[in-house]
Chain A
């Protein structure tokens, strides 16, 4: 039991003695900085989303993310959409802090309103413009030492050109035909590269979907902050399509044969 009410409802800091088993002089101070100054910068992520995956394929870009928003190790929100359409050509997928992502959705939706709806100048925002804008926002926030705690993928198709790029809380950007954030960068990216590199112009939609599903399945088996419900976004010349919540098929029969994994008692 944490006897300090100001800690209640806040995520626990794993490196700190939450059960207050230490001598008095040592505790009650883990949150003291929260209200000490007039402004608090440098936060930490609170409600987080895990990996986002994306690949190039014959008709455009396909992006996938699961529907979980975690609160530390708690699976807190199980129906969150982490793929967000912007304008007519782009999808932004987010991992990291979900409240920062909601803020970014607000900013980007506002951008589309001012640049497309209000201006009515015949110019529309494509994925390249969205990514450039997003990376400038991310970089300027990191330069104020007040980052938006996300790793984002931006994918889209405009004027027959496929676009797939990454940007994170540091403002670091890069482009590749397969991208993955978070744990996906370690677990899914090698699978995606093996399946996609050199085949970007021939992979069909069902093939691309199969590759992403398999990568998501491996992630669900190994990433403890993932869930078996996910969405897939396809961005083609025909526009943006984001699927409903889908369920991953998994097999756990193997567990029976493993001591300590299945239901053996001895």
Chain B
């Protein structure tokens, strides 16, 4: 049998509309706050394209979105989410609630079911009842609410560490005590920094910079241990509601 493949399938270089741009994102919910973080390196293959390309975006006074995967799709997706949130604001004279943003993101992702946005989304913020919340998505819109989630290049390095440190997996509480359901903010920030330090050490696509967004529930203030890190407060539309802060730091250079 002669090789018929050249006739049946005329050879053609197929254009690949996707790329992988590395990086890792992470979010952890507390009782009355949420931390959403991401590194700032953007790469393709072994090349670093830039050392500062944000992956975490401030959406509303109580919602922050982290986007990881194919950078062009990520930026376009964030642009379109922001546009929908602006339309909502004009129509209803208020910000969209977090759980509604989560459902909106599902719908927008699933709308591209047959030419997906190649991005993993993690949405963090404050729910209407004042609790911290994290929603994580796959590229075609499957989503769930969780207490913590890592995604991206170093997901496999970070997620089991989070299972251990946030969910206390494989740890038995001392007799007569129990594990806390939520950790305080300084502890959560330490775990986030440790996670990215570890990922930077062992994954070539993670590094350069770390951006941590902190969303605080209504009426809450930053503990002193966090204020000393000098986070920058982002302007909010309503003065008395939830507040968003950013903490930036360098990741190891070598």
Contact = CB atoms under 8 A, between A and B. Distances in A.
Interface stretch (A4-12, A50-58, A117-125, A167-175): A167-175
Nearest to B76: A139
Interface in A155-180: 166, 170-176
A143 B115 contact: yes
B12 A173 contact: no
A36 B10 CA distance: 11
A106 interface: no
Contact of B12 (A27, A42, A166, A171): A42
A212 to B, nearest CB: 19
5 contacts: A33-B10, A41-B15, A174-B71, A175-B52, A176-B51
B19 interface: yes
A171 B76 contact: yes
A23 interface: yes
Contact of A139 (B6, B13, B18, B72): B72
A261 interface: no
A129 interface: no
A174 B13 contact: no
Interface of B: 2-4, 6-7, 10-15, 17-19, 21, 42, 44, 47, 49-53, 70-72, 75-76, 115
Contacts of A13: 11
B10 A142 contact: no
A170 B10 contact: no
A16 B11 contact: yes
Among A15, A30, A176: residue with most chain B CB under 10 A:
A176
Given A42-B15, A174-B53, 4 more contacts: A25-B2, A25-B7, A170-B70, A173-B72
A194 interface: no
Contacts of B6: 25-27, 29
A170 B7 contact: no
A36 B47 CA distance: 38
Contacts of A185: 47
B182 to A, nearest CB: 37
Given A170-B17, A172-B19, A142 B72 contact: yes
B2 A172 contact: no
A51 B128 CA distance: 52
Contacts, number: 73
Nearest to A169: B15
Contacts of B44: 172
Interface residues of A, number: 32
B14 A42 contact: yes
Given A26-B3, A29-B10, A32-B10, A170 B72 contact: yes
Nearest to A176: B50
B10 A30 contact: yes
Given A175-B52, A175-B53, A33 B17 contact: no
A166 B72 contact: no
Contacts of B14: 42
Contacts of A143: 17, 115
Among B19, B53, B72, B76: residue with most chain A CB under 10 A:
B72
Contact of B75 (A27, A29, A145, A173): A173
For the complex of A and B, 6 pairs with smallest distance between CB atoms = A171-B72, A174-B50, A42-B15, A176-B50, A33-B10, A172-B72
Nearest to A136: B76
B119 to A, nearest CB: 13
A123 B115 CA distance: 37
Given A15-B11, A42-B12, A171-B72, A166 B49 contact: yes
A171 B17 CA distance: 9
B9 to A, nearest CB: 10
Contacts of B76: 139, 171
Contacts of A147: 15, 17
Interface in A166-225: 166, 170-176, 185-186, 189
